[in-house]
C-alpha cells in the first residue's frame, strides 16, 4: 500500500532511504500476518527506525504499545509522534491519540502531598500545581527520598482507598493517565514498566520493542525483589512509631555486622552467592520484632475501632464500606452497624486514614516476609547482591539486599499481542534467545551513513597496565579536546571518573538529569560529558565531535548480574566468555553509533585498548562500516 504520510514527507524534503522503506514493509507484513508473529530488525543509525514503525502503524490504523529503553527516550518519541500525527491529521483530517506512560512512582500523589503540613510541602511543587503541571516528576529536581514519600504508590493507594480519596478525580495517574491510556491508539512505555503493566486487549495491539539491546537487563531490574535499611527504618518503623510511640529497634546493626566489611573498594553493589547465610539473623533481629509490633498495633486498632463504632448510632456509608473492604473487624461487628449516606465526618476521615496506614504497614511487612522466604529457600536461577549508598535522611549508609532472576527468560509472557517488532541498531537474535527466550524472523538492514568520514584511532595501550593506560587516556582526552568543542567520554568503570575531575568545561553523568547535561553539550555551555552506560546507549549529539572510549566495554565479572550469569552458564557447561563478548560487542557498536547521528556528522573516535586486535569481532564491527582503523603507538 502507498504510505501517504511518507510520500508527503518526501515532498517536504525527507530523504528517501532504502533501509527505511524495507523497515516499512517488515512492519506492514507483521500487521498483516498477526498471530503473535515476531520480527527482529537490526536497523543501523540513519535508518530512521522510529518513523519506520510509526508511519505504517498510523497509516494502517493499528493500535500499538511502543516500549523503549529509558524515560529520556520516551520524551524523544513524544516529539516524533507529535510531528507525524500533525502530518497525518493534515492529510486524513483525523487525529492519532497517544499517551506517554511511566511508572506510578513518576507521578505526584495529591493525597500524600496535601497530607503534609504546610511548612513541609515543597515550594517547587506548590508553584508547579498552580501552573497546570501534569504531575510528572521527570523534570523536577527533588531529593529521591522525598519523591518516594510523595509519589503514587500501590501500597498507599489501594483500590478501595481510591474510592474514598477526595482527590481521585484530579489524580494525575489514576484520573488523567488511566483515562488517556484506555483511549490511546499508541501507548509509549519504557522497558522497566513493560513487565509490570496489564494492558487492556493486548491482542488488538502490536508490541514494538525499540532500543532492544538492553531489554533483558531492564526486565531483570523490574523483576527484582529487595529490602533496604531505608525501607525498614523509614517506611516500616516510621509507620510503626505512628501507632506505638515507644517502639524501638536498631535495624542497622544487622546490616553493618554482615556487610560493612565487604565494601573494601568504592563499589555501590556487590554480588553475593546466596542470602541464605543471613536468613536466620534477619528473621531473629529484624522480621520477628517487626511482626510483634504489627500484632500489637492490630490488637490496639481493633480495640479502639470497636469502642468507636459501639458508641455510634450511625456512621457514614463511606466508613462502613471501607471497614468492610479492609476486613479489619470480624463480620459480626458490622451486622448491627447502621449507616447513612452523609459525607464522612472529620473524625471518620481520621479513622479511614488510620486504617489505611495500618494496611500500608501490613503490605510492606508482607513484602519483607516474602523476601525473607527467598533468602531462606534460595531458589535455583536466582542472583543476589548487597548495595550501600550514603543517605542524608538516615545520616548513615543505606544498605539494600536484592534478589533477581539470573536470566529473565520464562518470567515474562510475550504471547497475547497481535505481533511483536523488536528493533535496535545492535539487536542480536542469539542474545534475545538466551536472555529472554524470544525467537523470531531476523532482518539485518544496511547502513546509510558515510562512515568513511570517521577517523578511528586505536592507542596501543593495555588496560591491564594501569599507570600506562591512565596516562594514555588523559593524553587522548587532550588530543580530542584540541580538535573538537563537543566530546563524549565513554567509561566502563566509575572509578575512572577521577581522571577527569580537574578538567575545565566538563560535566559528569549524575551531576544533574542527563537531558539537561546533553543540552549543555549541544549548546556549548560545556565541552565534554563523561559517563558510563547511559552515554554508550541512545545519546544524540549532532555535529562534528570526538568520542573517547576508555576501553572495550566488557562488563566487570564482579558486576552482580554478570557475576551470576557467568556462574549459571558455567553450571550449564557453557562458555560464559561467549556471552560476555557478545554483550561487550553490542555496547561497543552502540558507542560507535554515538558519532554519526546524521549524514552531516563526523569526527574522531579514539579507543585506548589494543585488545581490539585480539578480539577480531570488534575490529570487524568497525571495518564493516567502511571505517579505516589507524593504530597509534603510545
Q: Are strands 441-444 and 37-42 parallel, antiparallel or unpaired?
A: parallel
* Helices 346-377 and 317-326, packing angle to 10 deg: 10
3-class secondary structure for 359-416?
Answer: HHHHHHHHHHHHHHHHHHHCCCCEEEEEEEEEECCCCEEEEEEEEEECCCCCCCCCCC
SS3 222: helix
Q: Does 486 lie in the same domain as 628?
A: yes
The candidate with the shortest Cα–Cα distance to 445, out of 432, 433, 427, 430, is 427
pLDDT in tens, 439-486: 999 999 998 888 888 999 999 999 999 999 999 999 999 999 999 999
pLDDT in tens, 233-291: 998 999 999 999 999 998 988 999 999 999 987 789 999 999 999 999 999 999 999 99
Q: Is the pLDDT of residue 1 over 60?
A: no
Q: Does 174 lie in the same domain as 80?
A: no
Q: Is the pLDDT of residue 195 over 60?
A: yes
Q: What is the pLDDT of residue 169?
A: 86
For residue 300, give its domain range. 225-405
Half-sphere exposure (Cβ direction) of 121: Cα atoms closer than 13 Å? 17
Q: What is the pLDDT of residue 434?
A: 94
CB 423 within 8 A of CB 41: yes
Q: Does 563 lie in the same domain as 594?
A: yes
Is the residue at 20 inside a domain?
no
Q: Does 284 lie in the same domain as 369?
A: yes
- What average pLDDT score do residues 34-61 get? 95
Percent of the chain with pLDDT over 70: 99
Is the residue at 587 inside a domain?
yes
**CA–CA gap between residue 35 and residue 51 (Å, rounded):** 24
CB 440 within 8 A of CB 40: yes
Is the residue at 14 inside a domain?
no
Query: C-alpha angle with apex 553: 551 to 557, nearest 5 degrees?
Result: 115
pLDDT in tens, 550-578: 999 999 999 999 999 999 999 999 999 99
Q: Does 91 lie in the same domain as 64?
A: yes
Q: Going along 133-264, which residue ranges are E strands? A: 186-190, 206-209, 225-228
CB 328 within 8 A of CB 358: yes
Q: What is the pLDDT of residue 73?
A: 85
Quickly state the pLDDT bin for 335 (edges 50, 70, 90).
low
* Alpha carbon distances (Å) from 408 to 254, 273, 383, 387, 434: 31, 18, 11, 21, 9
- What average pLDDT score do residues 410-416 get? 89
| Total tally of structural domains belonging to the chain | 4
**CA–CA gap between residue 538 and residue 344 (Å, rounded):** 51
Is the residue at 12 inside a domain?
no
CB 403 within 8 A of CB 383: yes
Is the residue at 63 inside a domain?
yes
Is the residue at 495 inside a domain?
yes
Handedness of CA 201, 203, 206, 211 (dihedral sign): positive
* Mean pLDDT, the chain, whole residue set: 91
Q: What is the pLDDT of residue 560?
A: 96
Is the residue at 35 inside a domain?
no
Q: Lowest mean pLDDT: which of 70-74, 96-100, 278-282, 546-550?
A: 70-74
Q: Does 508 lie in the same domain as 433?
A: no
Q: Does 434 lie in the same domain as 477?
A: no
Q: Does 202 lie in the same domain as 142?
A: no
Query: CATH number, domain at 206?
Result: 3.40.50.300
Q: Does 552 lie in the same domain as 542?
A: yes
Q: Does 392 lie in the same domain as 437?
A: no
Q: Are strands 314-316 and 338-340 parallel, antiparallel or unpaired?
A: parallel
Residue after which a domain boundary falls, among 124, 155, 183:
183
Please give the model's pTM, rounded to 2 decimal places: 0.86
Our CA dihedral for 265, 271, 276, 278, rounded to 10 degrees, sits at: 20
Q: Does 147 lie in the same domain as 50?
A: no
Distance in angstroms between the alpha carbons of the first and the last residue of the chain: 57
Is the residue at 17 inside a domain?
no
SS3 508: strand
Backbone angles phi, psi at 58, to 5 degrees: -65, -45
Q: Does 526 lie in the same domain as 441?
A: no
Amino acid at each position: 500500500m502507498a504510505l501517504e504520510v511518507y510520500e508527503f514527507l518526501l515532498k517536504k524534503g525527507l530523504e528517501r532511504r532504502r533501509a527505511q522503506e524495507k523497515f516499512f514493509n517488515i512492519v506492514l507484513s507483521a500487521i498483516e500476518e498477526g498471530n503473535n508473529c515476531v520480527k527482529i530488525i537490526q536497523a543501523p543509525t540513519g535508518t530512521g527506525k522510529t518513523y519506520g514503525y510509526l508511519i505504517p502503524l498510523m497509516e494502517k490504523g493499528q493500535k500499538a504499545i511502543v516500549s523503549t529503553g529509558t524515560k529520556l527516550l520516551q520524551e524523544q518519541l513524544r516529539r516524533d509522534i507529535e510531528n507525524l500525527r500533525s502530518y497525518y491529521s493534515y492529510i486524513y483530517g483525523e487525529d492519532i491519540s497517544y499517551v506517554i506512560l511511566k511508572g506510578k512512582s513518576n507521578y505526584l500523589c495529591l493525597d500524600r502531598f496535601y497530607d503534609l503540613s504546610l511548612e513541609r510541602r515543597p515550594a517547587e511543587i506548590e508553584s508547579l500545581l498552580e501552573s497546570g503541571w501534569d504531575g510528572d516528576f521527570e523534570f523536577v529536581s527533588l531529593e529521591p527520598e522525598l519523591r518516594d514519600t510523595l509519589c503514587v504508590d500501590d501500597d498507599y493507594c489501594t483500590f478501595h482507598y481510591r474510592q474514598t480519596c477526595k482527590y481521585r478525580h484530579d489524580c494525575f495517574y489514576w484520573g488523567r493517565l488511566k483515562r488517556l491510556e484506555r483511549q490511546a491508539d499508541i501507548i509509549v512505555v519504557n522497558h522497566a514498566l513493560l513487565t509490570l503493566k496489564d494492558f487492556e486487549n493486548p491482542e488488538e495491539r502490536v508490541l514494538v520493542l525499540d532500543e532492544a539491546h538492553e531489554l533483558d537487563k531492564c526486565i531483570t531490574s523490574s523483576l527484582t525483589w529487595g529490602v533496604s535499611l531505608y525501607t525498614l527504618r523509614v517506611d516500616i518503623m516510621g509507620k510503626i512509631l505512628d501507632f506505638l510511640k515507644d517502639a524501638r529497634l536498631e535495624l542497622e546493626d544487622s546490616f553493618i555486622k554482615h556487610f560493612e566489611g565487604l565494601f573494601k573498594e568504592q563499589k555501590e553493589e556487590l554480588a553475593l552467592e546466596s542470602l541464605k547465610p543471613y536468613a536466620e539473623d534477619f528473621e531473629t533481629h529484624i522480621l520477628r520484632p517487626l511482626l510483634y509490633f504489627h500484632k500489637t498495633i492490630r490488637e490496639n486498632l481493633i480495640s479502639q475501632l470497636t469502642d468507636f463504632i459501639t458508641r455510634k448510632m450511625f456512621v457514614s456509608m463511606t466508613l462502613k464500606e471501607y471497614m468492610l473492604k479492609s476486613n479489619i473487624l470480624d463480620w459480626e461487628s458490622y451486622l448491627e452497624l447502621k449507616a447513612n449516606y452523609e459525607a464522612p465526618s472529620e473524625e471518620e476521615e481520621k479513622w479511614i486514614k488510620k486504617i489505611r496506614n495500618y494496611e500500608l504497614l501490613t503490605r510492606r511487612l508482607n513484602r519483607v516476609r516474602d523476601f525473607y522466604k527467598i533468602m531462606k529457600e534460595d531458589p535455583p536461577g536466582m542472583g543476589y547482591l548487597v548495595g550501600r549508598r550514603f543517605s542524608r535522611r538516615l545520616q548513615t549508609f543505606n544498605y539494600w539486599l536484592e534478589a533477581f532472576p539470573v536470566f529473565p527468560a520464562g518470567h515474562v509472557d510475550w504471547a497475547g499481542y497481535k505481533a511483536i517488532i523488536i528493533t535496535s541498531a545492535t539487536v542480536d537474535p542469539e542474545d534475545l534467545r538466551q536472555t529472554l527466550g524470544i525467537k523470531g524472523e531476523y532482518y539485518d538492514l544496511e547502513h546509510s551513513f558515510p562512515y568513511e568520514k570517521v577517523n578511528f584511532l586505536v592507542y596501543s595501550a593495555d588496560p591491564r597496565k594501569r599507570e600506562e593506560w591512565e596516562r594514555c587516556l588523559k593524553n587522548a582526552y587532550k588530543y580530542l579536546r584540541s580538535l573538537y568543542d563537543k566530546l563524549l567520554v565513554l567509561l566502563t568503570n566509575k572509578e575512572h571518573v577521577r581522571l577527569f575531575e580537574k578538567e575545565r568545561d566538563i560535566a559528569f553523568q549524575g551531576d544533574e538529569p542527563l537531558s539537561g547535561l546533553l543540552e549543555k553539550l549541544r549548546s556549548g555551555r560545556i565541552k565534554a560529558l563523561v559517563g558510563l552506560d547511559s552515554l554508550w546507549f541512545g545519546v544524540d549529539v549532532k555535529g562534528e565531535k570526538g568520542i573517547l572510549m576508555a576501553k572495550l566495554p566488557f562488563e566487570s565479572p564482579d558486576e552482580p548480574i554478570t557475576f551470576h550469569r557467568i556462574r549459571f552458564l558455567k553450571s550449564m557447561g557453557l562458555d560464559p566468555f561467549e556471552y560476555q563478548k557478545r554483550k561487550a560487542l553490542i555496547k561497543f557498536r552502540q558507542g560507535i553509533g554515538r558519532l554519526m547521528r546524521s549524514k552531516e556528522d563526523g569526527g574522531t573516535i579514539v579507543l585506548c585498548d589494543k585488545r581490539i586486535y585480539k578480539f577480531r569481532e570488534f575490529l570487524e564491527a568497525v571495518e564493516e562500516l567502511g571505517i579505516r582503523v589507524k593504530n597509534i603507538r603510545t
